[in-house]
Amino acid sequence: MSQKIAFIIPYYGKFPSYFPLFLNSVKEKPFDVIFFTDIAKPNVVPENVLWNLMSTTEIKTLFEKRLDISVAVERPYKLIDFKPAYGFIFESYISNYDFWGTLDVDTIMGNFSHFITQEYLNKIDFFSGITSYVSGSMFFMRNNTYCKTLFKKSRDWQHVFTNKRVLGFDECGGNFFTRLQAGESIFKLNTPIQSFTEIVLLAQKEGLRIAFTNYILEPKGSIPVTIDKEGIFYLEKEYLLVHFIYFKTTYYFYTHNSPFPFPYYINSLGTFNKKPTLIKSLFSVNMINAIRNKIKINLRKLKTRR
């Protein structure tokens, strides 16, 4: 009997322009994605994407009822601090699943079954897509009481959930990514809070079977990532998913209104239906968009100076 996975995504505000890429990439994958949002359900949604309409007031009430504390979720971005508690908060929605986790919408999923097999799931209790710390963009864990309440082992969980500031509880408690990637131990970094990464690593000593992997691609430059029906490929290596955390922060990142047929390509300029060479990039819609946005930025600067 196959083991079922649910990715829980509370989302408020406005979906980004690249959201169709996310939806298209999770279509027919061997997991469900469960949204909690006040945004109307799009006209076309894959069958494995479940949509729950829930206002900001309702979700705050749910958080407080389940956690038995007053919580600070005034800004949608603050929700990331609560990711380790999603299994506990939304417990009634995931009773039929063997694993639960979180998945960011600024991602494109590749060949999930290639990386996460049923045999693999039998051997683990916790999965992170990044080696050095718990990846907030994608992690999942076994759906049992121990894992659902693991976040409570942090001495700071109540402080985090009642604090308006985003404290990075879901990952490593601040901007320590580079140091952790360089091999430093989180236990020696004197982080301001006891983050979920620290808690998971401590739980390993209690027998939690963890898998911290190098399956997530987070590229920065113009070298294109190939998005194919067979998977995601970059510099001759396959990845489970691509997370455009760096791409999306640039003014020139442009994605088309609907996903291209496979294969298509993505780099710091956005999406392309054909592999972008230097010449193709210079004369692309992406470049026109970049120039237009740069002009707008410069005009705003001029107005500010007056």
The enclosing domain of 103 has a CATH number of 3.90.550
- For the four alpha carbons of 246, 104, 125 and 240, in that order, the dihedral sign comes to negative
Question: Which strands form 138-142's sheet, in the order they lie side by side?
Answer: 49-53, 32-37, 5-11, 99-103, 138-142, 126-128, 210-212
Q: Is 128 left (phi over 0), alpha (psi -120 to 50) or beta?
A: beta
Instruction: Show which of 167, 184, 214 is a domain's final residue.
Output: 214
218 vs 260: CA distance, rounded Å: 21
Tell whether 202 and 276 lie within a shared domain: no
Instruction: Show which of 186, 214, 242 is a domain's final residue.
Output: 214
Tell whether 223 and 271 lie within a shared domain: yes
pLDDT for position 306: 62
pLDDT for position 1: 62
Tell whether 37 and 182 lie within a shared domain: yes
Tell whether 233 and 245 lie within a shared domain: yes
Tell whether 34 and 144 lie within a shared domain: yes
Tell whether 61 and 122 lie within a shared domain: yes
Instruction: Show which of 214, 245, 272 is a domain's final residue.
Output: 214
Total structural domains within the chain: 2
Tell whether 73 and 201 lie within a shared domain: yes
Tell whether 206 and 247 lie within a shared domain: no
Tell whether 221 and 162 lie within a shared domain: no
Tell whether 250 and 285 lie within a shared domain: yes
Tell whether 203 and 129 lie within a shared domain: yes
Which residues of the chain fall below pLDDT 50? none
Residue entry with tokens 């819609």? 285
Q: Tell me: the pLDDT tens digits for 40-78?
A: 999 999 999 999 999 999 999 999 999 999 999 989 999
pLDDT for position 295: 86
Tell whether 202 and 244 lie within a shared domain: no
- Residues spanned by the domain of 117: 5-214
